[in-house]
Amino acid sequence: MSGLVLAIDQGTTSTRAIIFDADRRIAGVGQQEFPQHFPASGWVEHDPEDIWQSVLATCKTALRKAKCKAADIAAIGITNQRETVVVWDKATGRPIHNAIVWQDRRTAPLCQKLRKQGLEPLFSRKTGLLLDPYFSATKIAWLLDRVPGARKRAERGELLAGTIDAFLIWRLTGGRVHATDATNASRTLVYNIRDNRWDEELLKILRIPAALLPEVKDCAADFGMTEKTLLGAEIPILGVAGDQQAATIGQACFEPGMMKSTYGTGCFALLNTGSDLVQSRNRLLTTIAYRLNGKTTYALEGSIFVAGAAVQWLRDGIKVIGKAEQSGHLAAHADETQEIYLVPAFVGLGTPHWDAEARGAIFGLTRNTGPAEFARAALESVAFQTRDLLDAMRKDWKPKHGNSKTVLRVDGGMVASDWAMQRLADILDAPVDRPTSLETTALGAAWLAGARAGVWPEQKAFAKSWSLERRFGPAMDEKDRRRKLKGWRDSVRRTLTDF
């Protein structure tokens, strides 16, 4: 059998399809952006049909560029933006509303209501998550309540719901398979990560019929065959993982204590805790890193809502740069005497604050502040937020569990900037490792599918193939680091809604 594997990487702003060969080298890539919809302040939506068409188009492009046919592909792996949800008609496959994106904050009042009822400890104990609009289930509840007739139709079994992976699996298999994997399920707020099942008590609280939801499988499992008419041949779908967990796999963070951080629109850091389900005392998330052969591996996760999006804001919002790549060069020429802090709470603050109502702010402006200082503040905000995550993880993950000297493996669009990665190492006071292959998310999904198909190496051999492109070591004076961190924490404190 061919060693070619097709990875579908369905992200927040674009869809990519990448074909890897048997040596994990890229043979062909297709990429397509799709529209973002902002119907109200704090609301973010996608048209599921745009996503579906982008998946088909990018897969065909990747096949053409790889100069192969669908019949040459051994397996498909899917990775996706995790908490974004779709509700669709079971008979026709048509969505009843736009997808509600993970960034969307419309369910903040419902989350606040549940917190006031004292229910957050219950949700947290069972799911490892906090009551925040970020997660999927309150979005499903909103759709059932607000789309005319949706709740009655759901109760009659006429509708299905799921994260983007489940919607794509349904479409790719011609409606034969309604399934998801354990990592995506673990982000819904209604999946019991201790028992590995949908939780009836939590579903009842949110009034979500269990029949709506997909079957939950291992990350490497049989998710059905694609319809022949879509790509030209039937292809087995054998791997699925949410994007951050797929990146963790692609970075070969298989041992407890290993940590990766992905810098895309947001930033998501995962620390592998092995079979140990660590209940955070510092408002981190406890989540499923992956489930293979029925065995669950857990992780602590920190979620930053705005990372690369801060650079996009510089470019598209206030137009101080023309291209995102300019940010590092500008930052390197910033006036070091100006202490400018950007708290990018454009859609609230994630870990460890979880303040959905906080909004962005800039501190320390002077008449001399210009584009270079704004660029430095935007890139430093990502480093500062990562430091907050790392500090929380160090408090939860004690040295007895492994080496307390953390090395961070990084990926995502932002890590191409040497300046940003060096400043990250400086602020963290820890090494930052940039791998040779930055396509770790797609690679993780591809490995799940390729290993399941028997055409790619098993876990240990795959881990040995991970290679380092460059290590960034901390070089900042400790006194400077402390001063900067003090200024950052004071700025965040002033931004929080309970200030």
Residues of the binding site for ADP: 12, 16, 265, 308, 413
| Beta carbons of 287 and 299 less than 8 angstroms apart | yes
Residues annotated in a binding site for sn-glycerol 3-phosphate: 12, 82-83, 134, 243
| Beta carbons of 15 and 34 less than 8 angstroms apart | yes
Residues annotated in a binding site for ATP: 12-14, 265, 308, 312, 413
Q: How far is CA 277 from the centre of its chain?
A: 20
Q: Is 231 helix (H, G, I), strand (E, B) or coil?
A: helix
Question: Which residue in the block uniquely carries the two structure tokens 């940003």?
Answer: 420
b/e per residue 238-250 (b: at least 16 CB within 10 A): bbbbbbbbbbbbb
3-state helix, strand, coil in the chain (%, to 5): 40, 25, 40
Closest CA to 46 of 9, 81, 3, 79: 81
Q: Is 83 helix (H, G, I), strand (E, B) or coil?
A: coil
Residues annotated in a binding site: 12-14, 16, 82-83, 134, 243-244, 265, 308, 312, 413
Q: How far is CA 22 from the centre of its chain?
A: 26
| Beta carbons of 254 and 462 less than 8 angstroms apart | no
Residues annotated in a binding site for glycerol: 82-83, 134, 243-244
**CA–CA gap between residue 111 and residue 205 (Å, rounded):** 12
Q: Residues, the chain, total?
A: 499
